[in-house]
Chains A and B, each alone.
Chain A
Amino acid sequence: MNPPALELHDLTVSYAKKPVLYGVDVQVPQGALVGIIGPNGAGKSTMIRAIMGLTPLSGGWVRIFGESFEKNRQRVGYVPQREQVDWDFPVNVMDVVLMGRYGRRGWLRRVTKEDKKIAEESLDKVGMLPFRNRQIANLSGGQQQRVFLARALAQQSDLYLMDEPFAGVDATTERAIMTLLQDLQSQGKTILVVHHDLTTAKEYFDHLLLLNMRLIAFGKTQDAFTVEQLQKTYGGRLTILSDVAAKAAKGEAMP
């Protein structure tokens, strides 16, 4: 039997000693296109980072295709939020996409002709090949996002984690991204997308993960996308939980 693409068990994360994610249990089957939905500060990006070991866990564990992340690093592709990088950085589009190949090459090895070919193919898939020598500062928001997607494609992974790829892009890019995601899914890849537009969530994703400091629901879109679950996600403020979290942070301040 196939191991789940992503398995989280009791994933707990604290930022500055304040818990932001509580005991999340999820098993994402292979080939799923998952939308991660939740209000601001629900811990969506934190969860993505925690999966890749970029944020230390205060409890629980992560498995990627049945193994630890370190072992299966190369099978995970990552699209960070666009604002996280400095778009004035002196590199061009091709350089950025080639970064997707760095992990495969490892320390001290240079990128090869083959890597360049893969990068060009990825750029072509997102329709950005004509821009390959463009300085990244001279791209529109949607184009920047497509460059990031091309970089993830160049990683040739089996599991993609994307942090708000639809944020601030034009309608054309949004459609292009969606086609691309469906294309990837049809190749059997698993994709997790942080998304905050409820109106499109239902039509874009076949699985939904509702998150608000804890897992509210995970399942097929038609099961998870119910008024009751959404109310739980966005409605009731978790006063007691965040209250107590603040107290715990004070009590447990410092390691």
Chain B
Amino acid sequence: MATGGDPRILRLVVNGDSRIGVAEPRMLLVDFIRHELGLTGTHAGCEHGVCGACNVRMNGSVVRSCLVFAVQADGAEIETVESLAGRDGSMHPLQVAFQEHHGLQCGFCTPGFLVAGLEVLRDNPDPTEAEIRQALSGNLCRCTGYVGIVKAIRQAAITMRS
């Protein structure tokens, strides 16, 4: 028999909106966000918590949404990459800096880096390059060699402080 168990109704706040969705107890949060809520900016890159492409902010902390069951997020506040730009489509200073410094190529890892990068800047508004590199070592990128990503976060730190 299908082994998912009875679906549960989940209520959560996603990017400031109240959302209701249905998930079997075994459904991963990343699949719930992508397929149930239709927010496909969050990506599944490795599904075992190494690559960081599925990073989202849950109740104020960055989590790997591939390592969290959707039911664990019942009642939670979630922020995904879609929350960064303004409602009018204007990009966040961190997004602007990524474009400015060629911090992305294929774009697949980018949402995870943006979510992690914002967290770096929340914790430390003026990080050194070494601190940025240490803080981002849990995210994989296969295109950029990280050069543009690190530069972009340094630039965003300056913009966001001013």
Q: Do A and B bind each other?
A: no
Q: Which residues of B contact A (CB under 8 A)?
A: none
